[in-house]
Amino acid sequence: METKTEIADIKETKTQVADKPSDIGSPDTSSLQTAAPKTRSLEPSSFQTAGPKMRRSHWVIFIVISFLLGFLVLYTILHMINTTTSIARVVHAPSPVETVPVRRQTLEEVIGGSGAVEQAETVNLITQLTAQVLEVPVKIGDLIKKGDLLVRWDDRLIKATVEANREYVEADNIKIRNETRQVERYSKLQNQNMGSAVDLEKYEMALADAKIDLAKSTVSLKQAEIDLEHVKQTSPIDGIVLERLVNPNEFTKPGQVIMQLGVLNTVLMAAKITEEKMHSVQLGLPADTTFPAFPSEVFKGTVAKIDPNIDPVTRTFTAYVKIENPGFRLKPGLSGFARIRRTAKDVLAVPSIAVMNPSGEQNQVFVVGGTNHANLRNVRPGIVVDAMTEVSDGLKEGEKVVTVGQFYLKDNDKVRTTSRSIFK
């Protein structure tokens, strides 16, 4: 019996030793088997604790995001009501607008247009001679002075005509003297009842015919003398030859244009200007003209003529700037650029964006009064310079006009001026 008891104690001791780790720190198989069930027994309880915590954090994040989104939506709605006139009208809130006071300013409008130089006047030379041209010493583009020879005709036939007509005049004078004596003689005989009335009447008719012949020959002589004076055509002006329509050895006839001259003491700059500036260009306005041929010079002039016809292709009209040209430096065809200046001093002006229907029959603006109501008012605009429009009638200095939001307004709408408005 004692032996069995000892054997049992020894087994129990081995079992306890097997449950402890070895001296080298590595667990044995039985210890791993014992630890594994303990680990598995802890997992369910840890998940049960973490689950409710995670659900609570999700709800907190959702509530915060929802609050932020709601705040943003509310802020956006309020911002749109405060800044958008159409939305403010829907919710019956004062319409947000920006205003600018009416001020007195000096507006200087510069109207530009390119073009070319033209002669201020054109002279057409017309001949009355039936003769052969001997000499044409000028050509197109030549500068000429008053008195310069332009055309010379053959004068031999004209001189012969002058001499012949002088003889005709002399012969007619002799014939008139003879017929006059005959009329006087037969008149005396008639008074003495010695001559017939028929003979007297015959000589009186002959005297009348002689006087007619004298008149005709006198006219022919005068015309021949005039033709002789014009066998040399000289220039009547200082200018330039624009066209030469005859050449040596050609025959001319009365009424024929032989040459065209241009006056260059003053020239015209024909500036092509866009049609929307038609109302701005006026006679007498000063203009500065520059030419690539004279890059460092500015030629002063004034608007002398306006062609009201609009070119259907380029949609431009022509304004002619008159420029003094004493040295004939500017010649027809020279290209350049004209700047016409129109100045309005100490005038009421508003931003152009405030004027509604600027191209229609009636121009209007919204004026904000002391009760913060926008009232529609008719105005008469003037020149437009740098996005500022002159107002000649309809506004007073210091009144506030709407510049932003006016297109959604109606007359007498309640408005609210925003922080972007100009108050002074």
* pLDDT over 50 at 10, yes or no: no
Q: Is residue 55 domain-resident?
A: yes
Q: Is 278 helix (H, G, I), strand (E, B) or coil?
A: coil
Does the residue 373 lie in any domain?
yes
Residue 360 placed within a domain = yes
| Predicted local confidence at residue 24, as pLDDT | 40
Q: Is residue 32 part of a domain?
A: yes
Task: Answer whether residue 367 is part of any domain.
Answer: yes
pLDDT of residue 421: 59
Residue 389 lies in a domain: yes
**Distance between start and end Cα atoms, the chain:** 123
Q: pLDDT per residue over 55-69, tens digit each? A: 777 777 878 788 888
* pLDDT tier, 358 (very low <50, low <70, confident <90, very high otherwise): low
Q: Could you give the CA distance from residue 293 to residue 32 in angstroms, rounded to a whole number?
A: 108
Q: What is the pTM of this model?
A: 0.57
Residue 62 in any domain: the answer is yes
Label residues 81-119 b or e (16+ Cβ within 10 Å = b): beeebebbbeeeebbbbbbbebeebebebebebebebbb
CATH number where 388 lies? 2.40.420.20
Domain stops at, among 73, 88, 111? 73
Number of domains in the chain: 2
228 half-sphere exposure, CB direction, 13 A CA radius = 15
- DSSP category for residue 275: G
Which stretch, 139-148, 315-324, 361-370, 392-401, has highest mean pLDDT? 315-324
Q: Does position 73 have pLDDT exceeding 60, yes or no?
A: yes
**121 lies in a domain?**
no
- Domain that residue 9 falls in: 2-73
